[in-house]
Every structure is written in C-alpha cells, then in structure tokens.
Amino acid sequence: MDFTQKHILGIDHLSVAEIDLILNTAANFKEINNRDIKKVPTLRGKTIINLFFEASTRTRTSFEIAGKRLSADTINISASASSVVKGETLEDTAMNLEAMHPDIIVMRHSASGAPHYLAKRLPRSSIINAGDGTHEHPSQALLDMMTIREHKGRLDGLKVAIVGDITHSRVVRSNLIGLTRMGADVRVAGPGTMIPPGIERLGATVCRSLNEALEGADVVMMLRIQLERQGKSLLPTLREYSRFFGLNPSNLALAKPDALVMHPGPMNRGVEISTSVADGPQSVILDQVENGVAVRMALLYLVGGANNDESTIQSSQSKGVTA
Ligand code: CP
C-alpha cells in the first residue's frame, strides 16, 4: 500500500490501513536501533526542522534521533532561542524556514490547530504535529498503539482504561480516536472537573471512579495533570487527587493480572502513579519511549517521500551504514 498523506496532523486523518502501515513500518525500523551502527541511508539529502514552541524531552529527542538514524539533516529550533522572542509571528517564522527548503517540519505548539494552519500556509513542506495544545499528539498515540500491539499481539477487543486530566490531554484525544478506530474498548476516568462534556462522542465510556475503569482492564494508561493548561485550579489538593485517582499496587490488582501499565511522560511519581507501579513488572513505560524512535522513523520515512513498500524498508536496512 502507498502512503499518500503529505502531513501527519492527527490520528483523525488516518485510516485503519494507514495506521497499520505506520505500525508495521515502525516494527521493521525498530531493529536498526539495536545495531552497533544505527544508521541507514533512507532519507539522505532530506532536511528536517524540529520546531518546538513548548518544552519536550521525549518527542523532540526521538524525532531528532529518528531523523539522524535515517541520515536526514536535522535542525532543532526552540521558541526561546528563535526570533519569536523578538515578536516574530508563527506564520513569518514558518515562511522564513520554508524559504530554506526543508522537506519536513515537525512542530509542537501550545495553540490547538497551529500545525494545521502551517500546513495550509506552506506549499512545499510536510508538517508533522508533535503536539498541539489540547488537541492531538498523533506520534504519541502511534507509539502507544505499537507498544500495546507488541505486548498483546492485537488492539482489537482490548479494554483500555485512560485515567487523569482528560480535558487537557492531547494524548488522550489521539489515543481515543486511534484505539477505538483499531477496535479497542476505551474507558476514561478522572475528577469531574477534568472530564470534558461530549467525550463519549469520540467513543469513550466515562467511568464514575478509578476502580470502575480498572476493573478487568488489559491496559491502564495514566496521565499527568496538565497544570500549565488549566486556567484555574481544578483540584482541592494533589494529595486528594492521588487518593482518588492515583494508581498503586492495590488498585492495579482490579485490572487483569497481565495488564500493561503505561504513561506518556513526564510522570509525577506519587501523584498519578506510585513508584512501585511505575517501575514494576507490568510497566511498559520505557518500552513506549523506545518505540517512540521507531514510530518517528516510520513517520519521517512515510511522509519523506521514500518508496513505501516493505521490501524497500528491508533493503534499506540491509544496505546498512552510511558515513
Ligand atoms: N510524551 C511526551 O510528549 O513527552 P515530552 O513532552 O517530553 O515530549
């Protein structure tokens, strides 16, 4: 199957076949990350700009590593070190960057819809959304789906509980759309002040308590409270939040014995998740981070205009190293 999307703006734009293609491509690329020399020539000559207007550890680093492992030239720009601090607009910044002929711009921005705006304004570059406001974080949902599929062998029919600040999380929105599209049954739980009205329309079942969400779950995904996106405090105290919505060994026992524990990061240990669960045998949190590199390699490869059949990936893997 050919991948015909120019941009990756959200999971919402991807079909089941396209999600499958991305996950299969990522699974093929994953092996490169375990080699002594972790580099293939697949995107040699391509230029990728990572344009981050918000803080990031995992997403920015893994997009940079992914680009470098595919031999692209990668450039990182953070808003605080750019002419944005002198008052330049997003549009002017992006148009100036496009004048330097990048092939792909990976962008994170606090405004929902910012990557979609750029995709309309820039005629040449492919845009990849690395998280926009409270809207979507598609590469995170794809790496989450890859991790679940690796451990469970499927997505279809799984019971996935997502717990925390549902209103302000772009991770939950992308996962909800992606997981339900792939046949999973997604429940959400959190304080009433952090459950947005109408979330059921995206396919979620809203649970009244953490325990109800955990009961019989195959996957438990915990979320950070996004204090930076809340205009006012939506909680009495973090201690109370932890008491009612924190994951610990005793409430995790309500889920299936082999349930996966996930967290997109950054974690607030002792708030939404106890250290013994985060570091425990059911945790796949670092597998998520590892798969983040493979998924971002797949996205760069697929929108980077490489020939998209699996034999090409295999052959670029076997060709091995470039300087
Ligand atoms: N999961 C995630 O987006 O992490 P970063 O904010 O560190 O990129």
Q: What is the pLDDT of residues 153-164, one digit of tens each?
A: 999 999 999 999
C-beta atoms surrounding 35 within 10 Å: 13
Cα of 59 from ligand 1 centre, angstroms: 5
The binding-site residues of ligand 1, defined as CB within 6 angstroms of any ligand atom, are 56-59, 131, 140, 264-266
Pocket test of ligand 1: the residue of 59, 165, 224 to mutate, having most ligand atoms within 8 Å of its CB, is 59
Catalytically annotated residues: 58-59, 86, 108, 137
Mean pLDDT of all residues belonging to the chain? 92
Q: What is the pLDDT of residues 167-191, one digit of tens each?
A: 999 999 999 999 999 999 999 999 9
Q: What is the mean pLDDT of residues 288-300?
A: 98
Q: Name the H helices within 153-237.
A: 170-181, 210-214
Give the span between the Cα atoms of 290 and 300, in whole angstroms: 16
Percent of the chain with pLDDT strictly greater than 70: 92
For residue 323, what are the CA distances in angstroms to 49, 72, 307, 319? 21, 12, 22, 13
Q: What is the mean pLDDT of residues 250-266?
A: 98
Sole residue written with tokens 């080699």: 35
Give the atom of ligand 1 at the shortest distance from the alpha carbon of 59.
Answer: 8
Cα of 148 from ligand 1 centre, angstroms: 18
Cα of 318 from ligand 1 centre, angstroms: 31
Q: What is the mean pLDDT of residues 227-234?
A: 67
- Facing residues of 220 across strands? 161, 261
pTM: 0.93
Query: What separation, in Å, do the N-terminal and C-terminal C-alpha atoms of the chain show?
Result: 31
Cα of 267 from ligand 1 centre, angstroms: 10
Give the atom of ligand 1 at the shortest distance from the alpha carbon of 131.
Answer: 3
Per-residue model confidence (pLDDT) at position 309: 46
